Structure 1
């Protein structure tokens, strides 16, 4: 925008809304990567847009309006990071770690809220990779500045000069923070890295059908056979998690499939990953009721990680019903 356009928009709230609306979803995804929480991201975006509206006089046409909004949103996220502890997944606590009542979990993110993001030429990650649960979780290990620089450079593809301008630091400082951040992320992400299969791959679709069918049939051996030898299984907000075929099999037999519990799985869309809404049969109500949102990480056609969020109150965000009849799954 030039100065005349700024003056016009500043005098017209509806014009401001029309201007920012196409950028709202990509800003929210950016704040989610920074904060690991849908709700915190929503708060950050809302506060950032209020600040942008009030500070329009401070915008100049030396840079793009989009970059200016990213600057405001990133700085708001950095302030929020300073004010609370980092989010995590249960596996981040380490085997045998003592539960911490202050622990806040990395939350799942609805694909429907992603929209389209403008990605610059210097991006290292595809849009899907930049929102996957493991990636967002490892970002939470980075100090705020490293987190901001890595997301702006490697996910959004801003140049080193642009990032330095957005964060009011030198190019040398931006490059240094980026290298340190990359070291942590490369160490924390699964070795499979960018070899993840696409969700529209025929093999992935077949795996999804087999996985849901195995759970619905109560076939624990079929479930375990789809897991990699080093697979992990976690259930936020529970702190316990399981690793490897032996421990995961024992957990499933003694927990979810104990007493011949009956399950139904519905496909969901979360974090660009294979996901399911899971439902447990309720004899008294004669319906399947929402139990958890499962996100699966893949390596080839093996499942390397299952994170089952035992928070059915989030189902509406993912377009999932709170309950289903026994007949509904057969209609898939």
Structure 2
């Protein structure tokens, strides 16, 4: 089968397979790498594809197993812990999903994605599950594969898939209240203005009582407005460049690209993603890039 024909066959599924890999692996970088493995494996195995299942189902079989292999073989290794250029306060706790990365909203434009299946809380919960449990949840609850078909994709029994689903559902947070997009945007904009101005008092008023700050790939997490404020104060006191935030949606959250600006020099320092609950911010996830 010619190369052009192969490209035409798989191209309609490329983006959804990439998103599937991201849900499984929690990292866009890892999803990029594994997607290339999937496309190569599909190319090599195309002659053996007998059409007993749909092409989409066959591709998801390859994709799911490649992701499970990547996790099993240790390819999803946590990145090195970055060293902050200041002495941070003692964290409230240490996070365990330090490989987590944001997923750009721009990559979701052509896909119909339920918001709760891409938000950071859900992606993080998937990373903490046993991998095959996470795969069962994604295949059945997110991608709407029947239990029997998911069992076939995972080379197991429907009974085993049902058991995995029961355990996985217990690990996923209860869905948040319906989204008020106007309020969410207003809260995020107030936060961004205060963050750029180092107005920590205003930031504190925007936080829920149990708000927390995470900073992948650093494991440090700060819980509660006081702990978050202490960290932000330490960070602001050490800054020598102007901090600029620019809107850049990720995981269907309000999100900002972060830059340090010093004269004409501009340094990309990662992304900041907000979870808004009602009219307050419940989670700040500051995805760091090494300086």
Is the alpha carbon distance of 1:300 and 1:312 closer, same or farther for their aligned partners in structure 2, counting shifts above 3 Å? farther
Contact 2:270 2:288 survives alignment (8 Å): yes
Name 1:215's counterpart in structure 2.
Answer: 195
Looking at structure 1, the residues matched to 100 and 235 of structure 2 have their Cα atoms a distance apart, in angstroms, of 24
Inter-CA distance 64–155: structure 2 relative to 1 (3 Å threshold): same
Aligned match of 2:122? 135
1:110 matched to which residue of 2?
A: 104
Q: Does the 8 Å CA contact 2:25/2:71 hold for their aligned counterparts?
A: yes
Q: CA deviation at 1:162?
A: 1.4
- 3-state SS of paired residue (1:169): coil
Q: How does 1:134-173 map to 2 (within 5 A)?
A: 134-173=121-160
CA offset digits 1:236-256 (Å, max 9, x no partner) = 232222111111112212213
Q: Do the aligned residues in 2 keep the contact of 1:216 with 1:264 (CA within 8 Å)?
A: yes
- Tell whether 2:218 aligns with 1:228: no
* Contact 1:117 1:127 survives alignment (8 Å): no
Distance in 2 (alpha carbons) for counterparts of 1:260 and 1:220: 17
Higher relative contact order at CA 8 Å, sep ≥6: structure 1 or structure 2? 2
CA contact (8 A) 1:131 1:271 kept: yes
Q: Distance in 2 between matches of 1:263 and 1:104?
A: 24
**Per-residue CA shift, 1:58-98, capped at 9, x if unaligned?**
222332111110011101111111112877899xxx9455x
Structure 1 unaligned spans of 5+: 1-10, 119-125, 314-332
Distance change >3 Å, CA 22–CA 256, structure 1 → 2: farther
RMSD: 2.6
Measured after TM superposition, the shift of residue 259 of structure 1 is: 6.4
SS in 2 for 1:107: coil
* Aligned position for 2:25: 35
- Structure 1 distance, partners of 2:77, 2:125, is 10
Q: Quick one: distance in 2 between partners of 1:256 and 1:277? A: 18
Taking structure 1 as the reference length, the TM-score comes to: 0.77
Q: How many residues align?
A: 281
The CA deviation at 1:263 is 2.4
- Tell me if 1:300 matches 2:287: no
Query: How do residues 16-165 of structure 1 correspond to structure 2 at under 5 angstroms?
Result: 16-84=6-74, 95-97=92-94, 104-117=98-111, 127-165=114-152
Distance (whole Å) between structure 2 residues aligned to residue 225 and residue 104 of structure 1: 28
Q: 1:88 to 1:180 in 2, by over 3 A?
A: farther
**CA distance in 2 between partners of 1:259 and 1:85 (Å):** 35
Query: How far did residue 52 of structure 1 move?
Result: 1.2
**Alignment partner of 1:195: what SS?**
coil
**Partners of 2:70 and 2:76 within 8 A in 1:** no
